Amino acid sequence: MTDSSAVDPRVAPFNAYYNRPQKREDLPLHQVGPGTPGGEYLRRFWHPVMLKIELGELPKAIKLLGEDLVIFRDKSGRIGLLNKFCSHRGVSLEFGLIAEHGIRCCYHGWLYDVDGKVLETPAEPLNSPLKCEFSQGAYPVRESGPFIFAYMGPPDAIPPLPEFESFTYPLGNVLAPYRLEWPCNWLQIQENAADPVHTSYLHAIVSGQQFSPAFNELPVLDFVDTPLGFLAVATRRVKDHVFIRSSDIILPNIAQVGPANESGTREKFIISGAVTRWVVPIDDEHSFTIGVRHLNDVIDPERKHLASDMGIGKGGLIGQTDDRPYEERQVEPGDYDAIISQGAIANLRNEHLGTTDSGVTRLRRQVMLGIKAVQDGEELKVPRQYGNALVPTYSHDIVVKLPSQANVGGGNALRAFGRRAVEVVIETGALPAAERETVARERIQKLAATDLVE
């Protein structure tokens, strides 16, 4: 007869013997290299390689998506992104000499154009056909805003380079660019943006008041698909206001998020983001975030953030790098500490996900659907391509005063109102930014007059 009172050893005290971590599984989600399922998916998108201010007069060796490359600007002003090693004898082109058109290998003088074409093989006979028989590997690049972008996928399937509405709206918006290095896989950084509940614990309740006191209030969560990916929605009641903060998760590796200093105690309505950033894989175990903080009187009316707070190795918020002493980071950890402490590649087999992790599971599912579509030779449906049109913003920061007759006691009313507000933001996405904001504000204010009454 089985003893029904026996305790499962996996949940008994001091049970590490029975709960040893499982070995990490190599997953397509974490792969970034050429020829891997995950890497081929990521190669279907433009990625910012660096900030324009980082590219000087000399070639720069970089690694992207597991590939060793060299980027340079030739004397005519064109940017080249070539395989790092010369096709002749394998010498690194980081020691190449910048030419009027292209870059010349220091070893034997072979000259490569920005598109990889071999222009000269000076040590060969004049009639040598060698330079016509191959080319140096090269990727197309584009300059846009403060960034240099690269596309590393099939050249016959280059998508439009997206231009985001949030970069020019609201009027007077100033872009403060930055780039940060992270010694971990790209996915766990992107998952952080899809996890709105961590903003309460990591940035307010547990680690200290890194965000405004409004974040001490636990939100009700929702996750809603958009043409670009999905919104991670956190809706809170802050005194006599409802505060909705929705982060725009754009596949595969972009996020637009709201400000961290919102008090939630005065009415506000903005369909835009405080930060737009990409997570760019260097290799499976290293990444960098690169983006801009939006500086304007609507997002940050008190101008608590400055352009000087941003830059190379500066993210404008505590805990985004390892620049503080280790003991200080233990006392008040930030995003950097939480994310990299998962390991260079997070071991998903040892997770025990809960209901608040729905954004993380949604992100993984959407990325896996994209990976499968590429494997099957299908067209990617998400994110939607907008061609020459601006990509609409779905990130929003809304604070609505409760109607005088409101009696919002539980989370159901908050969640329902947050969902309806999000649907309005998505439904009005095709309108010009200023008109859209007016229409959406009016509709959401009408909803507040009825939906927030229990």
pLDDT at 406: 64
Write out pLDDT tens, residues 188-229: 999 999 999 999 999 999 999 999 999 999 999 999 999 999
Mean residue pLDDT across the chain:
93
Rounded Cα gap, residues 440 and 444, in angstroms: 6
Evaluate if residue 336 carries a pLDDT over 50: yes
Evaluate if residue 451 carries a pLDDT over 90: no
Write out pLDDT tens, residues 153-173: 999 999 999 999 999 999 999
- What percentage of the chain's residues is helix, strand, coil (to nearest 5)? 25, 25, 50
Calculate mean pLDDT across residues 338-358. Answer: 96
Calculate mean pLDDT across residues 32-37. Answer: 98
Report all structural domains of the chain as residue ranges with CATH numbers, in order of start.
Answer: 46-157 (2.102.10.10), 165-451 (no CATH)
Report CA-CA distances (Å) from 352 to 188, 347, 349, 402: 15, 11, 9, 37
Write out pLDDT tens, residues 398-443: 999 987 766 665 678 889 999 999 999 999 999 999 999 999 999 9
- In what order do the strands lie in the sheet containing 103-104? 97-98, 103-104, 111-112, 118-120
Evaluate if residue 3 carries a pLDDT over 70: no
pLDDT at 254: 98
pLDDT at 408: 65
pLDDT at 18: 82
pLDDT at 1: 47
Contact 280, 288 (CB under 8 A): yes
Write out pLDDT tens, residues 231-288: 999 999 998 899 999 999 999 999 999 999 999 999 999 999 999 999 999 999 999 9
pLDDT at 426: 97
Answer with the residue of higher pLDDT: 24 or 39: 39
Rounded Cα gap, residues 424 and 428, in angstroms: 6
Answer with the residue of higher pLDDT: 401 or 140: 140
Evaluate if residue 17 carries a pLDDT over 90: no
pLDDT at 4: 53
Write out pLDDT tens, residues 371-389: 999 999 999 999 999 999 9
Calculate mean pLDDT across residues 334-347. Answer: 97
pLDDT at 2: 52
What's the DSSP call for residue 210?
A: S
pLDDT at 8: 80
Phi/psi region, residue 200 (left: phi>0; alpha: psi -120 to 50; beta: rest), is: alpha
For 68, the token pair is: 């060793």
pLDDT at 183: 98
Write out pLDDT tens, residues 76-128: 999 999 999 999 999 999 999 999 999 999 999 999 999 999 999 998 998 88
